[in-house]
Amino acid sequence: MATVHQDEGIVKNDQGVIENAKVQLAYCHITSPVSGRVGLRLVDPGNIVHATDTTGMLVITQVQPISVIFSVAEDYLPQIQQQLRRGNRLSVDAFDRAQQKKISSGNLLTLDNQIDTTTGTIKLKAIFPNTDLALFPNQFVNVRLLVDMQRDVTLVPTAAIQRNGQGALVYVVQPDQTVAMRAVSVGTTDGNVTAVEGVKAGDTIAVDGFDKLQSGVKVVVRKPSDSGSGRVTQ
């Protein structure tokens, strides 16, 4: 019986040796806590590394999904909070530097807990699936956050809106080819267009040459083919 116990002890001891070997083997591998893209290595074969090194051996960045940090004016915060309280999922689009090409689409994840008093803005965080790897870590993008959708509104080029002491106005071309100032109520601006009240669809509106325009001045409308865009000249 003593021999049996002795053999069982030997087996358990051998099992302990095996488990210790497995632990030592695990120490020979470094497992990343996240999936992502590995950057250029910070050490080369033959370099000595220490547990106290602050630079590390390499940097791994998560790319799927990827987050985008952007800021909006604090004036829009109540509208954003109202949509979030309703449980609405706000869509976010990332555009290139020229704001001409949409790179990827995602959704608003969360917002910061305080407003930056130096800029009057608040930071927001959006998450993008980035399935096609179009977004790259630390890449500069322009972001558009869809907070609300307006329907049946009249849009005019933002450049056409002028202001005087009484408020906002535009120059509308009359049937007799003269211009007339018309007061407008300015709504939401999105990129190069603005929603306004006070004009109707189909009106011809001046977009430049304002230093020469005044009510009653006769103008000639240039076709888009003449200059690449529709304009009004005196």
Q: CB–CB of 221/203 below 8 Å?
A: no
Q: What is the CATH number of the domain that holds 209?
A: 2.40.420.20
In this structure, is residue 185 part of a structural domain?
A: yes
Based on the fold, state whether residues 180 and 197 are members of the same structural domain. yes
* Domain end point (choices 104, 122, 145): 145
Q: Tell me, what's the pLDDT at 223?
A: 66
Based on the fold, state whether residues 73 and 138 are members of the same structural domain. yes
Q: How many CB atoms lie within 10 A of CB 104?
A: 20
Q: Tell me, what's the pLDDT at 227?
A: 45
Based on the fold, state whether residues 109 and 158 are members of the same structural domain. no
In this structure, is residue 207 part of a structural domain?
A: yes
In this structure, is residue 183 part of a structural domain?
A: yes
In this structure, is residue 25 part of a structural domain?
A: no
Based on the fold, state whether residues 101 and 128 are members of the same structural domain. yes
pLDDT per residue over 161-170, tens digit each?
888 888 898 8
In this structure, is residue 36 part of a structural domain?
A: no
Q: What is the CATH number of the domain that holds 92?
A: 2.40.30.170
Based on the fold, state whether residues 167 and 221 are members of the same structural domain. yes
Q: Tell me, what's the pLDDT at 57?
A: 85
Based on the fold, state whether residues 137 and 175 are members of the same structural domain. no
Q: Tell me, what's the pLDDT at 24?
A: 84
Q: What values do phi and psi take at 171, rounded to 5? A: -100, 115
* Domain end point (choices 145, 169, 199): 145
Number of domains in the chain: 2
* Domain end point (choices 145, 178, 195): 145
Distances in whole angstroms, Cα of residue 186 to Cα of each of 107, 127, 210: 28, 32, 19
Based on the fold, state whether residues 138 and 71 are members of the same structural domain. yes
Q: Tell me, what's the pLDDT at 234?
A: 41
Residue ranges in the chain modelled with pLDDT below 50:
226-230, 232-234
In this structure, is residue 80 part of a structural domain?
A: yes
pLDDT per residue over 37-88, tens digit each?
888 988 998 888 888 888 888 889 999 999 999 999 998 899 999 999 998 9
Domain that holds residue 91: 67-145
In angstroms, rounded to a whole number, what is the distance separating the alpha carbons of residues 16 and 21? 9
Q: Tell me, what's the pLDDT at 52?
A: 86
In this structure, is residue 201 part of a structural domain?
A: yes
Render the chain in DSSP notation, one character per residue. Answer: -HHHHHHHHHHHHHHHHHHHHHHHHHTT----SS--EE---SS-TT----TT-SS-S--EE--SSEEEEEEEEGGGHHHHHHHHHTT---EEEEE-TTS-SEEEEEEEEEE-SS-BTTTTEEEEEEEE--TT--S-TT---EEEE------S-EEEEGGG-EEETTEEEEEEE-TTSBEEEEE-EEEEEETTEEEEES--TT--B--S-GGG--TT-B-EEEPHHHHSS-EEE-
In this structure, is residue 165 part of a structural domain?
A: yes
